[in-house]
A and B are shown apart, each in its own frame.
Chain A
Amino acid sequence: MKEKHIIFGAEKVLKDNIREAFKAFPHIKRMTIYQTCASALIGDDIEAVAQEIMDEMPEVDIFVCNSPGFAGPSQSGGHHKINIAWVNKKVGQVEPKITSDYVINYVGEYNIQGDQEVMTDYFKRMGIQVLSTFTGNGSYDDLRAMHRADLNVLECARSAEYICNELRKRYGIPRMDIDGFGFEPLASSLRKIGLFFGIEDRANAIIEAEIKRWQPELDWYKERLQGKRVCLWPGGSKLWHWAHVIHEEMGLEVVSVYTKFGHQGDMEKGISRCEVGALAIDDPNELEGVEAMYKLKPDLIITGKRPGEVAKKIRVPYLNAHAYHNGPYKGFEGWVRFARDIYNAVYSPIHQLAFLDISKDEIRTDQSFVTRKMLSDSQLSPDIVNSTVMREYTGEFDSLKHLRDATYPQFPLQGKLAAM
C-alpha cells in the first residue's frame, strides 16, 4: 500500500495483488490474507474482495484474518483472532478421507525444527490418522476438515486452546492437553491418547523401545547437569512445558521463569511447575531482565534470540527457546538433543575464556586447550565417568532424515472406534 491508497482505499490494489499472486504460482490455490494497521484503519473490506475473487476463480479459496497490530497488546491477541476466524469461517467446508479408526487433530504445534514430524511419526506408528495439524507442517484443506476428528490433541494451549474449546462446544470433540517434551510427559501423553482409542499397547511398545534407546544418553547428560542454574525465559508457554521436567529429568535448577505474552493461566501453570524459591516475572522489560540476570547469576538462559544476545554480553550462554539450537527437542531423541545443547552451552571452554581479564588476571600458560569433559567431569565419581551404560548422544546431525523414508504399519479400518 502507498500513500494514495490510504486516502482512496486499496481494495483494487489488493484484488490485483491476489490475481497476480495466483498467476505467478499457478499450482497454488489457497491463500491467507492478513489485515494490518494501515488497511484496518482505512476500513478496507478485505472479506468482500476475497469473496469476489473466489466467485471469479472457483478453484481458489482464501482465508482472511483481521488482526491489525494495534488491536492487541501482544501476538497473543493475534492467536485468538486467527483461532476464532478459522473455526467460524473455514472449519466444516471440507469432508476428509478417513483412513483410520483413530482420528486426531494435532493442535498448537508449529513444527519447530521438525517437532511435528517427530510427533506424527509416533502417531502414525500407532495407526492414528493425524487429520490436520494446527498449523505446523499443516495443510489448508485438512484444517477445513477439523470437525471430523475424534480427539483434539493440544500442545500449545496459549495459542490454540481457543479453537479446541470451540470445536468441543460445536462438534463435541474432546480436548486433551499433552506435552511432547521430556520422557515422562511424552510417555504419559502417548499413553493417554492410546487409552482414549483403546490402543495403549501400541503406545507402550513405542515408549519401551524409545526409552531403551535413549535413556542411557539422557542419563549421561543428567549426571553432568545436576544443579546447574537455569533461567527459563520464553515468550509464551514453554515455561510450563519445561520448568518441572528439566528439573526432574536433567537435574537443572530453574531459578527463574518468565513469559512475555503469556496469560494469567500460563503464569499459574508455570508457577505450579517451579520449585520453591524460583523467581517468576511477568513480561519484564530490558532493565528488569538484566537486573534479574545479575542477581540470579544463572549458568544458562533459555530465551529468545535477541534477549539471548543480552545474556551473552554478561557472559551467560543462551539457548534459543523458540527456534532451538540443534533441534527438534520434542520426542525422546529430541529431548536428548536438548540436553546435549544445554551441556555444550554450559561447558563451553571458549565461553569460560570470556571471564579472564588478560590485563589483570593471572594467565595460565601451561594449558593450551580445555575440553568440555575436563570441565564437566572433574567433580564426578569414577563410577559415573567410567560407566559403560551411559553414553553421549549418538544421533545424526539431521535426526529427521530417516523419518522421511519411514514406512508405517497398516491397521485396516474396522468401523468407527471399533475398539471402544
Chain B
Amino acid sequence: MKQAITDGVEALMDYIMKNCLWQFNSRAWDRVEQNKNILEKATQIMCKEEVAKETPMERCYWAEAQTMVEEFLKKFPWLQTMDAGDIKEMMAGLKERLDYQTITGSLNQELKDPNY
C-alpha cells in the first residue's frame, strides 16, 4: 500500500476510535454488521456513489456514515485530493484495522455472549 494510504488509514482509525460510538455495540456479530455497513456507505459517499437508504436500518447506517464523512472532510483536507481507487483501498484497509481492533483482536469477552 502507498504511504499516503497507510497514513490515511491510521488517521481515520484514530478519529473513529476517539469520536465514534457505532463500532462499540455489545456483540461480535453486531459489530460485524455495523463496521461493514457504515464503512461501506462511507466509502460510497466519499466516492460520490449512490447510497441505499430506504429501510430504517439502512438510513441509520447512512446517517452515521454521512456525519462521519462530513467530519473527515473538515478535519482531513488531504481526502479531497484522493482518487476513488485510493479511497476504496484506504477504506478497505480501515475496515480490516477496525475489525481487528473491535472484533477479532478485542479482549472484550462479552462480545461472545450468546444472549441477544
Whether A and B touch (Cβ < 8 Å) is answered with: yes
Residues of A within 8 A of B (CB): 150-151, 157, 161-162, 165-166, 169, 172-179, 184-185, 188, 191-193, 195-196, 244, 263-265, 267-269, 272-273, 420
In the complex the two chains form, is B60's CB within 8 Å of A151's CB? Answer: yes
A-B contact number at CB 8 A? 75
Q: Do A188 and B67 contact each other (CB < 8 Å), given the known contacts A173-B56, A174-B57, A174-B59? A: yes
Which residues 68-82 in B have Cβ within 8 Å of A in the complex? Answer: 70-71
B: interface residue count bin: 20 to 34
Chain B binding surface, main DSSP class: helix
Task: Describe A's contact surface by its main secondary structure.
Answer: helix
Q: Do A185 and B60 have beta carbons less than 8 Å apart?
A: no
Is B104 part of the binding interface, using a Cβ–Cβ cutoff of 8 Å? no
Pick from B21, B64, B70, B107: contact of A157, CB under 8 Å: B21
Measuring CB to CB, which residues of chain B are less than 8 angstroms from any residue of chain A?
17-19, 21-22, 24-26, 30, 53-54, 56-57, 59-60, 62-64, 66-67, 70-71, 102, 106-110, 116
10 shortest A-B CB distances, which residue pairs?
Answer: A174-B60, A177-B21, A195-B63, A264-B108, A272-B17, A196-B63, A192-B67, A244-B18, A192-B63, A174-B56
Q: Which residue from chain B places its CB closest to the CB of A266 in the assembled complex?
A: B24
Q: Which of A162, A244, A265 contacts B108 (CB 8 A)?
A: A265
A245's nearest neighbour on chain B, judged by CB, is B19
Interface CB pairs A-B, < 8 A, 11: A169-B116, A173-B56, A175-B25, A175-B60, A184-B19, A185-B19, A188-B19, A192-B64, A268-B108, A272-B18, A420-B54
Q: Which residues of A contact B22 (CB under 8 A)?
A: 177
Determine whether the beta carbon of B64 is less than 8 Å from that of A268. no
Whether the Cβ atoms of B71 and A188 lie closer than 8 Å is: yes
- Residues B18 and A273 in contact, CB atoms below 8 Å apart: yes
Alpha-carbon distance A173/B60, docked complex (angstroms): 10
Residues of B within 8 A of A184 (CB): 19
Q: Determine the chain B residues whose CB is within 8 A of the CB of A175 once the complex forms.
A: 25, 60
Nearest CB in chain B: distance from A52 CB, A: 31
Measured CA separation A175–B56 after assembly (Å): 10
Hey, which chain B residues are within 8 Å of A169, CB to CB?
A: 116
